[in-house]
Structure 1
């Protein structure tokens, strides 16, 4: 068997050659990461964030539609507001559970496909999946049919959520990662006041003989139009390519981003910092339970169980809370619209400070804001007080949302990032399956105050878990956090 020789004449075997190739590949991932992290703030970088966020706009349209179409679904007789049985499939809680069951399946069982097949193709397919499923759902007339297609929508949304978080964290420089996620959430949260406004106008009506809530769902399905544009304009993640041995493709994408940055800023690129690379190998699921990732996995799993009860427990039930307080459907949707107009404001304001403060403490403070304002909302009867306290809950919730999307994507290496995010995120989907039933049960037994006390307690647990177990990530590269 032949062998090669190193620089001092010693024979080098096949095993040694393989080790050298691994070292060279690891150095390549480090170089790709370092080159991405030195990119200045430029139009091209923000355009990538915008394009991925446009897909997220329709994702959030579907994700947050429940609260706004629920009164219409109840009014049309397909589902009921509350049920006597805890797990009844005829109530609106089953509609919420169907969505979260789909999200659980999408994040837990299909999240890993973005690690295997790449971010761009999976993002595009997931967007098409849930858009078509939503259009079919709009024409269902039975509880079974409605819940099944809501489940299918949830699968696509679950895959989409995982892929967007992975892609954004990998493509943007470390010094604007927080602001990039804030901008992403700003664009996506614009969907919520849009759907609230549409629901306010359409849900009480039946244009052309079709229930208004069905029109709201169908309008959201136009997201399919953006699929092909996004697919053409968004490159694959260079970090993903490098981690999968596609270093030449990664080099071409990064080189193009560098050329655009120099042309747009009119300045040479900053000096390249030395950076260690990630391990170039096929990621294994069990790695998320090994050091240093085990404590992060436990923390984020615990976090997601409770943040879902808190955030979705409020956003999905605001109109129902107000109706329970004695307000008419149209009035409750009007107040809800006023509250949701604040949704894009949290991430928008965060563009000013997103990378200045440690992410974990932003999560803690925003969680406590949701808890405190939620308790005040329970006692609100005056329209101004209702909208003000509801807006504060919303401001805290959207600030928390942009932070945890950025935070969880920073804590795992590229080779397992999507499946790791999918696993920890799946706990929120599992929690979400039961959160609707829990809130419904609390609302039925203890009224609005009892339901909001449950929500506040959940947000307190969120703050505690991150404060005690959360690592610091401010200003650190993804490669340094992967070790």
Structure 2
């Protein structure tokens, strides 16, 4: 039986009356949710997002630096060795394997040790791993350290989504995640241009691909110092009985909001005491109501990743399949890639105005329609325009689901749940290469988009039929 209470009432409850910190946490969350969208909050989202920039930078340069590694003799490109331990296939597999391990097996770390602590720890892990990887001179060492670095990136992924979700009030969660994604995906053209410039050359006798890797590692170290200004999530602090620290952080945000707005804050909304959580464990996620949400998001992540990467990673090849010369296909692919950071900026206009679950469903339908049109197009203009539209729709899905899946679970297990469902996306990304290759070989470009259509239909059904509504709803109410 749920009951409402005021903020003062909840804060006055001793921990042996309220379920371990839950009433206190709900009261503090209500204070955070009544904050306006101030510059202070946007600055916090920006600082958190800078770490995500290097996550995307790391993923994007995987394909760009592989030719440079092959040129230096570290990786083989012959058909017989493509999937061997010294082939490009092994390098790509090591990347996604590390991401899977990081998200699935270590997603619990931010729930136990805090968002801020694991946030900075995983960024340093990525930096050190990248520096060591850039110094390798054997394929075995290169692939090993690529795997180790991928684990750090995987931990960072689940931490960022939960961190952003918990640091902002309910009325700006969608815009905050869209802004986060815009900052992150600005790394796509940056990585492409830096690789285009450095990979073919060897400044000072050092392979150019090593500079590309080191640039990301050193940039992440700089951002680590900047992000020391980011506080721990007050919601996480409250659920771990660190009420004084949570109170201090929220009071600081409230004071900044009053200074910026020039007026007093409205009173907090009545607090809905959330249900008790037995323990922050994987077993907790297999109990109602989280079990249904977990299964829904696992199916969604698996299918959306196959559809998303089935286009994003195969754009040049699909263009060639449509009769475009290889040189022009790379140029067209770069133009299409520029749309990646633009999609989240457009999403900021609607992310909190239209229900997130329906934005995901509508965007999946757009990918379906534009993809089928792309498979029939032949002219350069039509291919580029349709490719950009597919990218924009795919980015809308990405923006919305990163916010959506972080909203559906309570603070105590948010990162663990994100890790489990996001690991399905990593599996889908790994599978997409083999699935798309088989469809392209046997059925051509039309077959590829028929497969993507099936994936988008699964996305529409899973979210549209089984996903709850979240826009403008407090995290505690969604958890209940």
Same fold (TM over 0.5): yes
1:259 and 1:36, CA in 2 relative to 1: closer, same or farther beyond 3 A?
A: same
- Report if the CA contact (8 A) 1:25-1:280 is conserved: no
Distance 1:269-1:227 versus aligned 2 partners, 3 A rule: same
Distance 1:200 1:333 in 2: 11
Quickly say closer, same or farther: Cα 1:393–1:351, change in 2 above 3 A.
same
TM-score by length of 1: 0.89
Q: Of residues 260, 265, 270 in structure 2, which corresponds to 1:269?
A: 265
Map of 1:158 onto structure 2: 154
1:443/1:144 CA distance change after superposition, 3 Å: farther
The structural deviation recorded for 1:311 is: 1.4
Aligned to 2:124: 128
Q: Residue 75 of structure 1: CA displacement?
A: 5.5
Q: Deviations over 1:231-268 (max 9, x none)?
A: 42100000000001101100000000000100011111
Alpha-carbon separation, structure 1, partners of 2:53 and 2:473: 28
Counterpart residue number, 2:218: 222
1:317 and 2:285 equivalent? no
- TM value normalised by structure 2: 0.89
Q: How big is the shift at 1:147? A: 2.8
Aligned to 1:451, which of 448, 451, 466? 448
C-alpha distance in structure 1 between counterparts of 2:43 and 2:476, whole Å:
24
Q: Which moved more, 1:217-226 or 1:98-107?
A: 217-226
- Describe the shift of the 1:327–1:130 C-alpha distance in structure 2 as closer, same or farther (beyond 3 A): farther
2:112 to 108, 111, 116: 116
Residue 290 in structure 1 maps to residue 319 in structure 2: no
**Aligned residue pair count:** 467
1:254 aligns with one of 238, 250, 269: 250
**Which residue of 450, 462, 467 maps to 1:465?**
462
Distance 1:122 1:23, change over 3 A: closer
Q: 1:32 and 2:24 equivalent?
A: no
CA distance in 2, matches of 1:235, 1:30: 19
Inter-CA distance 326–71: structure 2 relative to 1 (3 Å threshold): farther
Q: Kindly state the Cα deviation for residue 390 of structure 1 after the two structures are TM-superposed.
A: 1.7
Q: Distance in 2 between matches of 1:387 and 1:342?
A: 11
- For 1:385, the equivalent position in structure 2 comes to 382
TM-aligned CA deviation for residue 70 of structure 1:
4.1
Q: Structure 1 CA distance, aligned partners of 2:74 and 2:324?
A: 22
Q: Taking structure 1 as reference, are residues 126 and 364 closer, same or farther at Cα in structure 2, changes over 3 Å only?
A: same
What secondary structure is seen at the aligned counterpart in 1 of 2:340?
Answer: coil
1: distance between equivalents of 2:232 and 2:57?
Answer: 25
Distance 1:415 1:343 in 2: 32
**Residue in 1 that maps onto 2:473:** 476
Distance change (3 Å), C-alpha of 1:99 and 1:372: farther
The answer as to whether partners of 1:323 and 1:332 remain within 8 angstroms in 2 is: yes
**RMSD across aligned C-alpha pairs, in angstroms?**
2.6
Cα distance 1:17–1:350, how it changes in 2: closer, same or farther (>3 A)?
closer
How far apart, in 1, do the equivalents of 2:93 and 2:198 lie? 24
Given candidates 391, 395, 409, the residue that maps to 2:392 is 395
Q: Does the alignment pair 1:187 with 2:173?
A: no
Give the equivalent residue in structure 2 for 1:409. 406
Partners of 1:396 and 1:323 in 2: CA distance: 22
Change (3 A) 1:481 1:359: same
Paired residue secondary structure (1:57): helix
Match in the other structure for 2:337: 340
Deviation at 1:121, TM superposition (A): 0.9
Q: Is 1:137 matched up with 2:158?
A: no
Measured in 1, the distance between the counterparts of 2:271 and 2:78 equals: 56
Structure 2's unaligned 5+ residue stretches are: 1-12
Whether 1:374 aligns to 2:371 is yes
CA distance in 2, matches of 1:70, 1:320: 17
Task: Call closer, same or farther: CA 1:396–1:82 in 2, change over 3 Å.
Answer: farther
Indicate if the aligned counterparts of 1:100 and 1:154 stay in contact, CA closer than 8 A.
Answer: yes
In structure 2, relative to structure 1, the CA distance for the partners of 1:325 and 1:73 (3 Å cut) is: farther
In structure 2, what is the Cα distance between the partners aligned to 1:85 and 1:455? 29
Cross-structure match for 2:228: 232
Could you give the per-residue CA deviations for residues 77-98 of structure 1, whole angstroms, max 9, x where no partner exists?
A: 6546684699654554433322
Which residue number in structure 1 is paired with residue 168 of structure 2? 172
- Between stretches 24-33 and 222-231, larger displacement belongs to 222-231
Query: Is this contact kept in 2: 1:93–1:437, CA < 8 A?
Result: no
Q: Distance in 1 between matches of 2:97 and 2:371?
A: 26
Q: C-alpha distance in 1, partners of 2:253/2:287? A: 35
Per the alignment, residue 8 of structure 1 pairs with none
1:73–1:321 CA distance, 2 compared to 1 (3 A) = farther
* Residue correspondence of structure 1 range 346-361 to structure 2 within 5 A: 346-361=343-358
- Indicate yes or no: 2:199 matched with 1:198: no
